[in-house]
Amino acid sequence: MGRITLENVTKTFGDVTVIPPLNLTIEDGEFVVFVGPSGCGKSTLLRLIAGLEDVSGGQIRIDGEDATNLAPAKRKLAMVFQSYALYPHMTVRKNIAFPMKMAGIDQAEQDRRIEAAAKALNLTDYLERRPGQLSGGQRQRVAIGRAIVREPSAFLFDEPLSNLDAALRVGMRMEISELHKKLATTMVYVTHDQVEAMTMADKIVVLQAGVIEQVGSPLDLYRAPRNRFVAGFIGSPK
Ligand code: ADP
Ligand code: MG
């Protein structure tokens, strides 16, 4: 589960085209990174996949099903943002439980999933704390925990580490990569940071002005950048 295909997907805001017709396949279990400069359409593309924005044209399929007009909650995707959007008055446990409560999942199952998520994220000792008593990295883990318990077929991350300092960012990158290995679930990860892209991705999608300049593994892009933009962006010679 977790295969996502975009067929001729477009997005316009008013008369401005942000995404011209775009085609992309994200394979089940893949870690795909959308990378490109600020304003190139990374967040828009992720929001289209999540259903937080409607496409202006084209089709989105998730696990073979036409999801183009499906409400976000029905897409079985979980989005993690850079602003963790945790509830400050709730404990970590309650923050993580919240989406399950909304979905009407019974208490025993909620507890089981919380324990599993806390274990995977090294949060077991922090479940009764409030977000204000946690470090930035721990808060980001709670936000990821809240996504995990929904058992989505894919995770969507929008620059999740951009609020963290450089040292913490490196640690969190490794944690997210390890989590990907553990869960073996599709992850789509947006960043403007080429190092993040090169170190985390199975497949990198390089975007410029809403257009895919190249899709490939980090090694493909490094060895054979298709044009100067890609070469310049990932910092390899050409
Ligand atoms: P990125 O995430 O790569 O920085 P975005 O997807 O946020 O880029 O934005 C891509 C372009 O779409 C930008 O020019 C931005 O101004 C525009 N845009 C994004 N959302 C909206 C919106 N709701 N209304 C109008 N323009 C938007
Ligand atoms: Mg963005």
Site to substitute for ligand 1 among 13, 157, 158, most atoms within 8 A of C-beta: 13
CB atoms within 10 A of CB 104: 6
Question: Has residue 205 got a pLDDT over 60?
Answer: yes
> What's residue 237's pLDDT?
57
Identify the residue whose tokens are 């923050």.
95
Average predicted confidence (pLDDT) for the chain? 93
Residue type, 230: V
pLDDT, one tens digit per residue, over 92-140 is 999 999 989 988 999 999 999 999 999 989 999 999 999 999 998 899 9
String of b and e for 43-62 (b: at least 16 CB within 10 Å)? bbbbbbbbbebebeebebeb
**For residue 159, which atom of ligand 1 is closest to its CA?**
2
Q: What is the mean pLDDT of residues 68-97?
A: 91
Question: Has residue 152 got a pLDDT over 70?
Answer: yes
Identify the residue whose tokens are 């970590």.
92
Q: Which two tokens stand for residue 224?
A: 């054979």
Question: Has residue 32 got a pLDDT over 80?
Answer: yes
Which spans in the chain are helix H? 42-50, 92-102, 107-120, 136-148, 166-183, 194-200, 218-223, 228-234
Q: Which two tokens stand for residue 233?
A: 């962006």
Residue 115 Cα distances to 100, 103, 128, angstroms:
13, 18, 12
Q: What is the mean pLDDT of residues 55-84?
A: 92
Question: Has residue 236 got a pLDDT over 70?
Answer: no
**For residue 207, which atom of ligand 1 is closest to its CA?**
3
The complex's ipTM works out to 0.98
pLDDT, one tens digit per residue, over 1-22 is 779 999 999 999 999 999 999 9
Long-range contacts of residues 178-183, Cβ cutoff 8 Å, at least 24 apart = 179/120, 179/121, 179/144, 180/31, 182/120, 183/120, 183/148
Higher pLDDT, 25 or 121: 25
> What's residue 60's pLDDT?
98
Nearest-ligand number for the alpha carbon of 82: 2
Q: What is the mean pLDDT of residues 222-232?
A: 94
Proportion of the chain above pLDDT 70, given as a percent: 98
> What's residue 206's pLDDT?
97
Sheet-wide strand order for 16-26: 16-26, 4-13, 57-62, 65-66
By DSSP bridging, strand 4-13 and strand 16-26 are antiparallel
